[in-house]
């Protein structure tokens, strides 16, 4: 019988000796070039981190290749970041350039540090999820191909955190990203009355609806959906498999902007709706790629140094954001959920464009 | 050349960014599961719809979490992914690895699964992406023998995660790694046996830059901070003057405007500082967090489902965090007890507090109301008073 509840391997056994010696005693760091950090300890010792991009969905052979590289240059020590990058950890400065050369020759992008686009946090999509409104890895790959140079350089006003979730469940909590790409459904779930009695618990399905659109039909042991109230979140489907919501003709992607997690300067904030709907157009989602690239480039050319996307928009105003990006403003942009009125303008101070 | 079975996905092998399609194809060389995954994904690209059914209840002996059931809705076409369950493996805190550990993981997954992974999933676990039901227990046995354990899923404590913290970062105000590991080991039962109304997430960031997005995506957010003055090395500050415009880039962007640069010396009015990290981020050689270190505790953060997204709210402005973290664990357990007692099915902590009121929550968990908890006091006059505040007998 296997041992249970042993917990994960102790991280202390995974730390390179230079970290063990200087744990908690770091003095400062610098970014030597895109993708290369140096941390200097009180002892004077240096730790170099070389950051490389990853598709996140990786095969065991790909992991072994990463291991080969880490063994060749880093005595077998590496880590992954909270945004799915790989970091090779070294204490020998002379090995940095050969390591980067090898990474580049094997097709690894080196970068993602400082004022750059770093790796896109994303979900499973059609690869492995039962509720997606779009794929995840595909749009991410298509977009990163297009904005690759923003990963390998540091020429933006500040960090740009891009995230993608393939439905409103938002595994990965993308709702506070500079640019969030969110899969959405746009049609009501199709209740399968023959299956509901066997596979669904009616009270919990009713309770799952944020807008109270679902009612129990106890006589027929099924459920009814008020189409007017449904905003297609798919939460009922999570609870009740007999209410499928995916719709190939109407599912797609929405774009949200201006969120941040860090407390630096301005408080953490949610991303706000920029584009309510773009079509699913595999394999390369050109509409989505163009839209994100446009927002990124308008930000890059208009924001002041150190302004995050949301800070820039708040300074110039949302009316200016829409006019600069050329994104049409629609009634979908005006909130109608709880606390919606908090977002309505209650002053006569605004810009014409 | 023969026509490819996967013309749409083949398009995603092109381009400069590393391709997940290449990884799936690489795995398909040795795993029929990965091969059918590739073909099913191609069908999704053609149909513009997912082809996975709802998960059933599958797992390993003694656990109610850690395995996500997944079945193909076209087993007739893709029999090798008829069942294709995910295993979540709790990552070493901070995502640090020695390669021998990673290689062990790869060998086990080649033996039992699709040879495909996510490094890592959104919550932090290593995601072993897809295997058959009969492989789950043998795979877990091998993982356990190699020193790994499963992470959380469902209405359980989800695998806690932490930023890189004192292992590499000079800004760490708390030992985020030790706190995370300690909580993970303390709460193994809560991680593996779902016992709550819904999921519960704990994330630890060692400073206000919040590299694990604790404030946005954890029910219980631990974020390092300090009391007292920012430590200044004036010589290093002067050195920065040659590379950055200190007044413009540092002082003028300070949210409380509590700093001034006169060309030689940096002055900080620390009583006005809100510890946002901007100045320290820009001048790490010259500025350091103050000496008295601890954490701000916030609760309620979550993504939209069900009642809308929330950012965590401050409930303890400052808590010292040193092993064995008794005060922290007491607070976590008091909060979970109240939530467990009062929460409806699939109601996150933040939603419960919204429904019953922060006032009720604070009283239940024994925390005093302090101004640090709010952006501003209420503007409406619909004020409740506790019965004990009201004189019972009318004179």
Residues of A whose CB is below 8 A from B345: 204, 207
**pTM for this predicted structure:** 0.96
CB-CB under 8 Å, A2 with B140 = yes
A245/chain B closest Cα distance in angstroms: 10
Residues of B whose CB is below 8 A from A53: 17-18
Mutate which of B49, B60, B173 to disrupt the A interface (most A C-beta within 10 Å)? B49
Residues of A whose CB is below 8 A from B155: none
Contact B170, A39 (CB under 8 A): yes
* B8, pLDDT greater than 70: yes
Nearest neighbour of A128 by CB, restricted to B91, B115, B129: B129
Report d(CA B110, CA B112) in Å as an integer: 6
CB-CB under 8 Å, A15 with B8 = no
Q: For chain A, what is the largest distance between any 2 Cα atoms, rounded to a whole number of angstroms?
A: 76
Nearest neighbour of A80 by CB, restricted to B105, B120, B304: B120
* ipTM confidence score: 0.96
DSSP B235-293: HHHHHHTTTS-IIIIIITT-TT--EEE-SS-EEE-GGG----SHHHHH-TTTEE--SEE
Q: Number of A:B CB contacts under 8 A?
A: 352
pLDDT 10s digits, B96-153 = 999 999 999 999 999 999 999 999 999 999 999 999 999 999 999 999 999 999 999 9
CB-CB under 8 Å, B170 with A39 = yes
pLDDT 10s digits, B211-227 = 999 999 999 999 999 99
pLDDT 10s digits, B152-179 = 999 999 999 999 999 999 999 999 999 9
Which residue shows structure tokens 């200097």? A40
Average pLDDT of chain A is 96
DSSP B184-249: HHHTHHHHHS--SSS-B-EEEESSTT-TT-HHHH-SEEEEEEEESPPEE-HHHHHHHTTTS-IIII
Report d(CA B289, CA B231) in Å as an integer: 6
pLDDT 10s digits, A41-100 = 999 999 999 999 999 999 999 999 999 999 999 999 999 999 999 999 999 999 999 999
pLDDT value of residue B394: 67
Is the Cβ of A169 closer than 8 Å to some Cβ of chain B?
yes
Report the DSSP beta bridge partners of residue B200. B157
Report d(CA B209, CA B38) in Å as an integer: 39
Residues of A whose CB is below 8 A from B179: none
Residues of B whose CB is below 8 A from A150: none
* A185, pLDDT greater than 50: yes
Confidence band (pLDDT; 50, 70, 90) for A338?
Answer: confident
Cβ atoms within 10 A of the Cβ of B378, count?
Answer: 8
Provide the token pair at A174: 């993308």
Provide the token pair at B190: 């809560």
Which residues have C-beta within 8 Å of that of residue B180, sequence separation ≥ 6?
Answer: B93, B94, B160, B161, B162, B202, B204
Cβ atoms within 10 A of the Cβ of B243, count?
Answer: 10
A67/chain B closest Cα distance in angstroms: 5
Mutate which of B51, B213, B280, B311 to disrupt the A interface (most A C-beta within 10 Å)? B213
- pLDDT average, residue stretch B315-327: 98
CB-CB under 8 Å, B70 with A130 = yes
pLDDT value of residue B2: 58
Is the Cβ of B322 closer than 8 Å to some Cβ of chain A?
no
- pLDDT average, residue stretch B331-336: 98
- pLDDT average, residue stretch B374-394: 91
Residues of A whose CB is below 8 A from B149: 4-8
A262/chain B closest Cα distance in angstroms: 4
Report d(CA A190, CA A246) in Å as an integer: 9
The fraction of chain B above a pLDDT of 90, given in percent, is 95
Contact A213, A226 (CB under 8 A): yes
Among the listed residues A192, A237, A195, the one whose alpha carbon sits nearest the alpha carbon of residue A213: A237
Is the Cβ of B290 closer than 8 Å to some Cβ of chain A?
no
Confidence band (pLDDT; 50, 70, 90) for B341?
Answer: very high
């Amino acid at each position: 019988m296997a041992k249970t509840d042993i917990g994960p391997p102790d991280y202390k056994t995974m730390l390179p000796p230079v970290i063990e010696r200087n744990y908690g005693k770091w003095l400062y760091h610098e970014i030597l070039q895109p993708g290369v950090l140096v941390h200097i300890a009180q002892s004077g010792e240096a730790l170099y981190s070389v950051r490389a991009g990853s598709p996140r969905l990786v095969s065991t052979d790909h992991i072994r290749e990463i291991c080969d590289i880490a063994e060749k240059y880093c005595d077998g020590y590496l880590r992954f970041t909270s945004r799915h990058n790989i970091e090779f950890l070294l204490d020998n400065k002379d090995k940095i350039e050969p390591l980067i050369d090898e990474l580049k020759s094997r097709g690894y992008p080196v970068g993602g540090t400082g004022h750059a686009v770093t790796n896109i946090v994303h979900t499973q999509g059609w690869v492995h999820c039962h509720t997606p409104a779009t794929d995840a890895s595909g749009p991410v790959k298509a977009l990163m191909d297009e904005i690759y140079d923003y990963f390998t350089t540091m020429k933006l006003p500040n960090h740009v955190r891009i995230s993608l979730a393939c439905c409103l469940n938002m595994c990965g909590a993308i709702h506070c990203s500079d640019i969030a790409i969110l899969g959405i459904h746009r049609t009501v779930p199709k209740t399968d009355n023959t299956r509901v009695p066997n596979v669904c618990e009616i009270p919990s399905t009713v309770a799952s609806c944020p807008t109270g659109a679902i009612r129990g039909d106890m006589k027929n042991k099924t459920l009814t959906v008020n189409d007017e109230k449904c905003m297609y979140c798919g939460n009922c489907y999570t609870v009740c498999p007999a209410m499928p919501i995916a719709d190939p003709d109407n599912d797609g992607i929405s774009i949200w902007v201006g969120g941040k997690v860090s407390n630096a300067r301005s408080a953490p904030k949610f991303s706000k709706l920029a584009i309510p709907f773009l079509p699913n157009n595999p394999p390369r989602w050109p509409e989505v790629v163009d839209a994100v690239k446009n927002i990124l480039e308008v930000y890059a050319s208009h924001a002041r140094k150190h302004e995050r996307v949301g800070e820039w928009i708040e300074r110039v105003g949302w009316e200016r954001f829409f006019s600069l990006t050329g994104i049409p403003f629609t009634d979908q942009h005006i909130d109608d959920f709880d606390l919606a009125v908090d977002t309505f303008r209650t002053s006569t101070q605004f810009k014409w464009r | 050349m023969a026509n490819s079975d996967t013309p749409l996905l083949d398009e995603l092998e092109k381009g400069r960014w590393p391709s997940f399609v290449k990884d799936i194809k690489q795995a398909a060389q040795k795993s029929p599961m990965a091969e059918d995954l590739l073909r099913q994904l191609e069908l999704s690209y053609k149909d513009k719809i997912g082809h996975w059914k709802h998960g059933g209840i599958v797992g390993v002996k003694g656990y109610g979490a850690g395995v996500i059931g997944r079945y193909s809705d076209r087993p007739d076409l893709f029999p090798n992914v008829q069942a294709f369950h995910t295993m979540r493996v709790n990552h070493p805190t901070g995502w640090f690895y020695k390669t021998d550990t990673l290689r062990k993981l790869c060998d086990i997954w080649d033996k039992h699964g699709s040879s495909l992974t996510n490094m890592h999933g959104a919550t932090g676990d290593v995601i072993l992406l897809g295997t058959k039901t009969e492989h789950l227990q043998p795979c877990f046995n091998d993982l356990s023998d190699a020193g790994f354990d499963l992470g959380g899923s469902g209405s359980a404590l989800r695998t806690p995660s932490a930023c890189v913290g004192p292992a590499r970062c000079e800004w760490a105000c708390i030992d985020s790694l030790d706190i995370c590991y300690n909580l993970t080991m303390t709460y193994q039962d809560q991680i593996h046996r779902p016992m709550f109304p819904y999921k519960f997430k704990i994330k630890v960031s060692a400073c206000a830059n919040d590299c694990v997005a604790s404030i946005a995506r954890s029910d219980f957010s631990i974020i390092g901070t300090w009391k007292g003055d920012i430590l200044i090395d004036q010589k290093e500050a002067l050195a920065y003057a040659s590379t950055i415009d200190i007044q413009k880039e540092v002082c003028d962007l300070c949210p409380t405007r509590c700093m001034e640069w006169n060309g030689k010396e940096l002055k900080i009015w620390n009583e006005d500082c809100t510890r946002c990290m901007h100045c320290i981020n820009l001048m790490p050689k010259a500025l350091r967090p103050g000496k008295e270190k601890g954490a701000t505790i916030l609760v309620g953060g979550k993504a939209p489902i069900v009642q809308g997204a929330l950012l965590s709210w401050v409930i303890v402005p400052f808590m010292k965090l040193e092993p064995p973290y008794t005060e922290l664990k007491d607070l976590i357990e008091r909060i979970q007890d109240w939530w467990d007692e009062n929460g409806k099915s699939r109601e996150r902590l933040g939603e419960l507090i919204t429904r019953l009121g922060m006032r009720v929550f604070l009283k239940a968990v024994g925390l005093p109301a302090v101004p640090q908890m709010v952006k501003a006091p209420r503007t409406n006059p619909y004020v409740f008073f506790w019965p004990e505040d009201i004189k019972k007998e009318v004179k």
